Structure formats: C-alpha cells, structure tokens
Amino acid sequence: MTTTNEKLKSWVEEMAQLTTPDRIYWCDGSDQEYESMVEEMVASGDLVKLNQDTHPGCTLHRSNPDDVARVEHLTFICTKHEDDAGPNNNWMAPADAHKKVDALFAGCMKGRTMYVVPYVMGPIDSPLSKAGVELTDSAYVVANMRIMTRMGTPAMKRIETDAKDSFVKGLHSIGDLDPERRFIMHFPEERLIKSVGSGYGGNALLGKKCHALRIASWEARESKGWLAEHMLIVGIETPEGEIHYVAAAFPSACGKTNLAMLIPPASQAGYKVWTVGEDIAWMHLGDDGRLWAINPEAGMFGVAPGTGKDTNPNALQSIQKNTIYTNVAVTPDGQPWWEGLSKEPPEGLTDWQGRPYKAGNGTAAHPNSRFTVSCSQIPSYSKHAEDPQGVPISAILFGGRRASLTPLVYQSLNWQHGVFMGATVASETTAAITGQVGVVRRDPMAMLPFCGYNMGDYWKHWLQIGKMSDNLPKIFHVNWFRRNGDGDFMWPGFGDNLRVLRWVLERCAGKGEAVRTPIGYLPSYGAIDTNGLDVSPETMADLTAVDPAAWQAEMDDINEFFGKFGDRMPQELLDESARVKAELAKA
Ligand code: OXD
Ligand code: MN
C-alpha cells in the first residue's frame, strides 16, 4: 500500500531518509494484520500470550522498567513565542527542538521497520473527527493504535479525501529507551508531534494525549466553538427513559474510568448509565447552542490496579478478551493479575518485571500498569457513542481528589464562575505521572499536562464560548474523596455517586434544592438522597458545608497560582476570585 496523498507520501519519504528504516510498512488495520503482528511480537518476546482459555486474544507487554509513565518534564510545546506555550508547559524554540530530536531520530530505525499508521480520532464518518498519521518503529504501538483509534484503510480514505494537509503528523521512535534521550515534542503551529525514546502509552500512542489533547486544544481555540478536553462522557438514563449526558474532567486516577462505567446500585432502581468515553471529549457548539460531544478515541488505555469486581465490574468484564495488558503481574496459569483484582496476591505470581513475586520488591503489578481494549467491549457502551453529531451535554463536572476542604458537590453561579471552578481544580497526585505521589497540585480542567498552549489563553477561550450561547451545560464541582479525622472516606463513592449525579441533573432541569454560598450552590439539607447509606446527617452536613477560613487560605493559594499567568490571565477570573474572597469575608 501507499497513498494518493502527495503531502503524506513526501513526508513519509523525508522521514524515512532521516530515520533510515530497513523497510516501510503501510498499515491497513485489518484483523489479519493485527494477528500477524501479535504473532511476530510473541516470537520476539515483545508480547507474552496470556491464558487463552480464560483470556482469549489477550497478551502482556513488559515495558522497560525506566519507561512506565508519561514524562511531563520531557514533554515540550514548541511555539515561535515562548508566551504562547505559557508557564503550564515546557517550551523550546521550534528550530532548537527540531535540531535536538532530529539528531536522535537520525538513523534510529536502522534494522527496524517504519510502520505508517493512518488513523482517525472520532467516529470515522463524523465531520467532527480528525485524521492523523503516526510513523513508528514499534509494533506494540501499532497494535495499541489499532485498538485506541480508527486505524487503517478507512482512515487513509479520509486522509486522501479531506484537505491534503489536514492530517496531524506524528513521528515516533522508541530510540534506545534511554530517559536521557527521551523527548515528547509538540509543534502546534506545524500540527506536528515528534516523540523519541519512550514506548509507553501517552508518550508513544500519539493519537491520545499528544494529538487529541495538546494539538487538538490548540486547533480548538483557533477554530472557535470547539473544546478539546480531558473529560469522560457518560449518559444517565432516568427511570422515565430520558438520557442526559454529562462530561467530567478529573485529574489522572481520580475515578474517571469508574464514573464512566458506573453501575447503579440496587437502591437506584430504574437508572442506567451509558459509557460514551472515559478519557477525552471533543465538544462543539451546535446550531441549537448546546455543546455536542464526541469521544475521539475508540479504545481505553486504562489503569489496571484498583480495577476489581467491586470497584468497576464493567471495566473488568471488558478486559476478559482481546486486551493488551502492559506491566501487570501474571499467575502461574497465565492469567493477568494486579493489586485490587483479589485481596491477596495468588501463590506463584510473576511480577510486572517478569521476576518471581516477592513482597519486598514492591507491588506485583506496576502501579501505572494498563489495559488496552476496544470500547466496543464495554458492556455499558452507549449506542450513541458513534453518532456523527455527538451527544448533547447537559452538565460539565470538574473534580479532584481532596481529603479536605472541597464539598461533595456544588454548582457554579454561572458560566464564568464555572470556568473559575475548572481553572482552580486541584488534586492529590497519583502514579500516572512520574514524580511524587500524594501532594496537592493545581490541575486546571485536569488539563495541566495536556493543554497545548498558554493556560491563560485557554481560559479566555472557555470564557469566549460562554459568550457564544446561553444554552450551554451547567457546571459543577465534585469531590468523592473527603476523609474524616480517622482518615476514612466520608462518602461511599462508586455506584452511589449516581445519587450526586441525580442532584446535578435535577439542577440542570431547574429543580433540586440548593443554598447559595460564596463558592457556589450547595445541595440543601436532604436534597441528595442518602436513603439506605451509612452516611450520618452530620457527615452529610460536613460534606456540603463551606469553611470560610479554610477557603480564604485556598483563595490565597489560587491567587498565587493565577499570578503565574501574568498578562495572559483573563480579568474575568481575577474578578471572580475577588468576588469569592469578598463574600467569604462577609460569611
Ligand atoms: C491517562 C492520564 O493516562 O490521564 O489517561 O494520565
Ligand atoms: Mn487521562
């Protein structure tokens, strides 16, 4: 195969000259191609076949132990002007960045195959979808891209019929996997990604964080009326049969996948939850003034640890077949295992590095171990997930993992205040990124690692959307992770979060009792159904209260954070901050 798109053809030739692969292979995305690549990887040891009786079509990849997470400190936005990348990004001048990585790409594919991977982010026939081409020397990346995107011949058709240079270009090589020679470079002005030195998920599957968030967020701002967000999309079906869609942005590992696949508990009879997406949402302003969302991805690259039959039975059911596991442990009979799958590690386990499991060596599965699986295997996958026009969003949730301070749920006073709420999201860090675990970091809209430009400009873009329609979703903030003095969670979470979503949807319908406070509308006493829950009225009162002194301290921290954005900081958010502070002083 090759292509009739001359721009693509010449770029592939140019990149082949730089990287000197032994051969170039154009992927068609067929089952046969996938199966033969898996066989080759099994033969080379890149993949291990898991127990085909219990887990048909499942394989395991063990990554280099130095290459197990996204690397934010090695991720760069390379724009002509440093200010356009902003204090939220590492910046390098494009010429310097090209020089730096091209030196690493030079000859790096010698002895290897360069795979040409055409893909579409979003339903293949949706006008809201976008195409890309990733050139990679990793068969593991190709196999993952086939699950995560619409990859192969149908994507190539779009690349040949859409405007000739409308595809996003991504060049990827695992290089020598040396963290010293690892860079994830984005050139939004050229709609180009160059990633070298890592074979791990977000660094290497360029359709995901690099294209669908960093490059797409840049494009979304330029083309107005569009938001590319780190959000799940979920449909809540009421007992009356109406489906309302909610998009939610939580920083990594705050239960996004769980919320996207929530199973209503027995107490919430008649409700159903439908999964549209679990990581990324592209939302466009429709003619009706509503935001319509598509999930640009076709698969999940989910965190395995903590996924169990009590926490997320839908996810667990999705990954019993045709799944690529990365860095999980294996039982003696070849079944995948991770912490949280069962209480105790089974006897005779092999750990994520392929060693006999010993408690002294740390966890059996890597804390950031993953499963890659097609969304079509999710039992709750929505029949509207592939609708070309997307699904209409009624509510946007922001949230983080905070042991104290932020209430269980509250609603913004208006769109501008909602943008402020999103801009001030903070969360305790987890294992999805390299670095310290358990420290509170501010992660606006959960986009800190993923916004492809200056966050001040990004907030302006959000505020701008607010001026374009009066039919936009209502905005809320949630926190499932409050703890009491003994360190125990105060709210049961998981399926019972539906009780909170019910209040959210009532508010969207102009119902649902609430009290206005400086930080937003909080649920009135009794407005959230706690029937049958082991949550006392005192706990509920605590979960829905504002502590003015603690919030004043929070506001000081927020203002310090806003200060970093200098003259790119939108005045509206500073005004919002001043309003909250003044109202708290009176409270
Ligand atoms: C992810 C992340 O992997 O957000 O989705 O880190
Ligand atoms: Mn994510």
Q: What is the 3-state secondary structure (H, E, C) of 6-23?
A: HHHHHHHHHHHHHHCCCE
Backbone angles phi, psi at 97, to 5 degrees: -65, -45
Residues 424 and 527 in one domain: yes
Cβ-Cβ contacts under 8 Å for 282 (sequence gap 6 or more): 121, 122, 128, 212, 216, 220, 226, 227, 228, 229, 293, 294, 295, 296, 390
CA distance 2 to 12: 10
Please give the helix or strand (H or E) that residue 551 lies within, else none: helix 548-563
Nearest-ligand number for the alpha carbon of 200: 1
Residues 87 and 40 in one domain: yes
Residues 347 and 400 in one domain: no
Pick from 225, 217, 242, 216: which is nearest to 286 by CA? 225
Give the amino acid at 21: P
Task: Name the residue of 144, 252, 369, 445 to mutate for ligand 1: max ligand atoms within 8 A of Cβ.
Answer: 252
Retrieve residue 587's tokens: 């409270």
Cα of 79 vs centre of ligand 2, distance in Å, is 24
CATH number, position 261 = 3.90.228.20
- Identify the active-site residue in 58, 78, 254, 508: 254
Residues 258 and 308 in one domain: no
Pocket of ligand 1 (CB under 6 A): 70, 202, 252, 279, 432
The angle, 0 to 180 degrees and rounded to 10, between the axes of the packed helices 571-586 and 455-468 is 80
Residue after which a domain boundary falls, among 329, 349, 374: 374
Per-residue pLDDT, 129: 97
59 assigned to some structural domain: no
Residue after which a domain boundary falls, among 374, 405, 423: 374
Cα of 433 vs centre of ligand 2, distance in Å, is 10
Cα of 368 vs centre of ligand 1, distance in Å, is 10
Atom of ligand 1 nearest to the CA of 202: 3
Retrieve residue 63's tokens: 């990554």
Task: Name the residue of 68, 70, 369 to mutate for ligand 1: max ligand atoms within 8 A of Cβ.
Answer: 70
150 assigned to some structural domain: yes
The angle, 0 to 180 degrees and rounded to 10, between the axes of the packed helices 94-105 and 6-19 is 60
Per-residue pLDDT, 14: 98
Task: Name the residue of 144, 203, 209 to mutate for ligand 1: max ligand atoms within 8 A of Cβ.
Answer: 209
Residue after which a domain boundary falls, among 176, 206, 224: 224
Retrieve residue 337's tokens: 């295992």
**β-bridge mates for residue 475, sequence order:** 396
Residue 573 contacts residue 423 (beta carbons within 8 Å)? yes
Per-residue pLDDT, 428: 83
CA distance 520 to 106: 55
Q: What is the DSSP string of 433-473?
A: BSS-SS-EEE-GGG-TTT-SS-HHHHHHHHHHHHHH-S-PP
Atom of ligand 1 nearest to the CA of 201: 3
Retrieve residue 128's tokens: 């809201």
pLDDT by 10s per residue, the chain, length 587? 689 999 999 999 999 999 999 999 999 999 999 999 999 999 999 999 999 999 999 999 999 999 999 999 999 999 999 999 999 999 999 999 999 999 999 999 999 999 999 999 999 999 999 999 999 999 999 999 999 999 999 999 999 998 888 999 999 999 999 999 999 999 999 999 999 999 999 999 999 999 999 999 999 999 989 999 999 999 999 999 999 999 999 998 788 999 999 999 999 999 999 999 999 999 999 999 999 999 999 999 999 999 999 999 999 999 999 999 999 999 999 999 999 999 999 999 999 999 999 999 999 999 999 999 999 999 999 999 999 999 999 999 999 999 999 999 999 999 999 999 999 999 987 655 555 667 888 999 999 999 999 999 999 999 999 999 999 999 999 999 999 999 899 999 999 999 999 999 999 999 999 999 999 999 999 999 999 999 999 999 999 999 999 999 999 999 999 999 999 999 999 999 999 999 999 98
Whether the predicted model's global pTM rises above the 0.85 cut: yes
Retrieve residue 135's tokens: 């050139």
Residues 294 and 415 in one domain: yes
Retrieve residue 117's tokens: 């991977």
Q: How far is CA 335 from CA 52, 326, 394, in A?
A: 9, 13, 41
278 assigned to some structural domain: yes
CA distance 74 to 242: 45
Per-residue pLDDT, 433: 52
Please give the helix or strand (H or E) that residue 506 lies within, else none: helix 497-508
pLDDT tens digits for 7-44? 999 999 999 999 999 999 999 999 999 999 999 999 99
Rg (CA), the chain: 23
CATH number, position 361 = 2.170.8.10
Atom of ligand 1 nearest to the CA of 70: 6
64 assigned to some structural domain: no
Atom of ligand 1 nearest to the CA of 251: 4
Please give the helix or strand (H or E) that residue 158 lies within, else none: helix 153-161
Per-residue pLDDT, 437: 65
Residues 335 and 456 in one domain: no
Sign of the torsion formed by the C-alpha atoms of 366, 297, 198 and 76: negative
CA distance 129 to 245: 19
Please give the helix or strand (H or E) that residue 391 lies within, else none: strand 391-399
60 assigned to some structural domain: no
Atom of ligand 1 nearest to the CA of 303: 3
CA distance 81 to 272: 48
**β-bridge mates for residue 399, sequence order:** 478
Per-residue pLDDT, 335: 98
250 assigned to some structural domain: yes
Pick from 367, 378, 370, 131: which is nearest to 278 by CA? 378
Residue 402 contacts residue 409 (beta carbons within 8 Å)? no
CA distance 21 to 137: 8
Residues 366 and 275 in one domain: no
Residues 89 and 212 in one domain: yes
Is 108 designated active site? no
Residues 460 and 484 in one domain: yes
166 assigned to some structural domain: yes
Per-residue pLDDT, 1: 66
CATH number, position 14 = 3.40.449.10
The boundaries of the domain holding residue 208 are 6-45+73-224
Cα of 369 vs centre of ligand 1, distance in Å, is 11
Cα of 401 vs centre of ligand 1, distance in Å, is 15
Residues 550 and 499 in one domain: yes
Residues 286 and 324 in one domain: no
- Taking CA atoms only, the protein residue closest to ligand 1 atom 4 is 252
Residues 100 and 203 in one domain: yes
Cα of 252 vs centre of ligand 1, distance in Å, is 5
54 assigned to some structural domain: no
Cα of 252 vs centre of ligand 2, distance in Å, is 5
* Overall number of domains in the chain: 3
Per-residue pLDDT, 439: 80
Task: Name the residue of 231, 279, 307, 370 to mutate for ligand 1: max ligand atoms within 8 A of Cβ.
Answer: 279
- Taking CA atoms only, the protein residue closest to ligand 1 atom 2 is 252
- At residue 318's C-alpha, the angle toward residues 317 and 323, to 5°, is 125
Centroid of chain to Cα 81: 27
- Taking CA atoms only, the protein residue closest to ligand 1 atom 1 is 252
Nearest-ligand number for the alpha carbon of 303: 1
